[in-house]
Amino acid sequence: MKTDAATARQRRVLAAVFVLAFVLSQALLWYAYYGTAAKTLIGDEQTYQQTALSVLAGGAWMPSTIWPPLQPLLLAGLYALCGVHAYAVQWLQTLLFVACAALLRDVWRRAGGSVAAANTAAALFLLDPGIAGYAHWLWPEMPHLFLLLAALALLLRARAFAAGVCVGLALLAKSLLAPFWPVLALLLVPARRPLAAARIVAAFVLGIGLVTAPALLHGWREYGKPMIADSSIYNLWVGLGDRWRSDYVADLGGRTLPEFLASADTPQQRNAIYLDKVRALVAERGVVEIAAAQLGRQYFRLFSAKTPLVSQLPGPACAGHLSVYATSPAVTRALAWSNDAFHALILAAAALGLATWRRRPDRLMLVFAAFAGYQLALFALIHVKARFLLPLLPILCGFAGSFLASLRRTGADDAIARTPARLAIGAALAVLLLFLAFAGPWLDHLCAG
């Protein structure tokens, strides 16, 4: 009984420390955004804001073939209810951020992680300021991630129609999921009755179809193609033109987009023009040279510790700092240091957790592996920003949580086997990920001149 009492007391202390750390982290982020002067909107944030205001004024609800419509519609709905105030969006997205952590905890328990592992994974997710910052920005990353995790939790409960609705909404938030969503249906196929899957998979597809039908119909009427948004060829062209291992360094995206949109009247014509440019570039440089250049650059950008939070803090423009936060040197250092610390901890612990994971892969783990492989293959080619890592971070936090929980005797995770060989492999993978995260600016000699 004394041991049980000591364990309960230890858990209460850990819970109190977590709550305090979470409150302080949130307070620092809110102060950074509004303390001296409100942060300036950047890039696509401005587009989503302008589109939302246009919708409120009676403009088209889906005016672009580049950006899917969900985020502007979400902003417009909140502005109609609360007035045009960014903090209305930020409060909602903060709730979604916390909900993402709860969903991550649930999904990781179902993946085979212990209670301690799932709790640790959720805590890593909530305390990382580089992740928490997404709740304050007008990009669709946080709603999209919430919808993905909600769909996954529903799929694991065979709630096919509701999961389909979530996936459909996720497609309306970000279009990169479009080629992958059929893989998610594998979670609905009964292990012993595959023929019984037809009805439940049909419900899943129906949920997706009902949500996306208006956008697909709009694409059919306007362009002769049932589409939501298609920026794939544009992003491929920009991705092949990237030269630096950090985003926001001589960024080509904003400069290339006006040329792309002005190149033709329809998305099919624009894609055809730029696909010809891609083919010409490949013919000129060769597949091997282009592949080597992409592999030597894109994953540095994806895993970079210079997250969107750090990129927006005050700093030298030559290193990819936009300086749109008006933070003091002390606040800037606190945010940058905590961002780097959590980014390094999650990557290193996830590498060790992945290498020491000993359970036989089930369908959920196979879907995780397929999703990670899909993302990594995609980002070897197209234009990459550090924020594109966000959909993979719940998986990384899960493996990190399992490994860290296994280090505590009272929270041992039987999914982890810390054998010398596995630890050596995990350490090598951790070194690789940390090198990708931190070495890019050094390799590029940014600000050297």
pLDDT for the residue 1: 45
For residues 142-152, b (16+ Cβ closer than 10 Å) or e, as one string?
A: bbbbbbbbbbb
Rounded to whole angstroms, the Cα distance separating 33 from 117 reads 32
Instruction: Tell me the whole-structure pTM to 2 decimals.
Output: 0.94
- For 396-409, the pLDDT digits (tens) are 999 999 999 999 86
* Cβ atoms 97, 142 nearer than 8 A: yes
Tell me the DSSP string of 344-405: HHHHHHHHHHHHHB-SPP-HHHHHHHHHHHHHHHHHTTS---GGGGGGGHHHHHHHHHHHHH
Query: Whose CA is closest to 347, among 439, 433, 284, 278?
Result: 433
Mean pLDDT of the region 300-309:
97
Confidence of residue 109 (pLDDT cuts 50, 70, 90): very high
Mean pLDDT of the region 137-165:
97
Query: Whose CA is closest to 174, among 435, 382, 340?
Result: 382
Mean pLDDT of the region 181-209:
85
> Two tokens at 283?
């013919």
pLDDT for the residue 49: 96
What values do phi and psi take at 252, rounded to 5?
Answer: -90, -15
Rounded to whole angstroms, the Cα distance separating 226 from 417 reads 49
- Quickly count: other Cβ atoms within 10 Å of residue 311's Cβ: 24
> Two tokens at 98?
């916390």
Q: For residues 188 and 165, which has the higher predicted lDDT (pLDDT)?
A: 165
**pLDDT over 90 at 107, yes or no:** yes
Rounded to whole angstroms, the Cα distance separating 203 from 199 reads 6
- Average pLDDT in the chain: 92
**pLDDT over 80 at 285, yes or no:** yes
Rounded to whole angstroms, the Cα distance separating 333 from 352 reads 28
Rounded to whole angstroms, the Cα distance separating 252 from 268 reads 22
Mean pLDDT of the region 204-226:
92
Rounded to whole angstroms, the Cα distance separating 370 from 183 reads 8
Residues facing residue 416 across a β-bridge: 357
Query: Whose CA is closest to 396, among 373, 372, 419, 420?
Result: 372
Mean pLDDT of the region 202-219:
95
Block residue for tokens 């105030």: 85
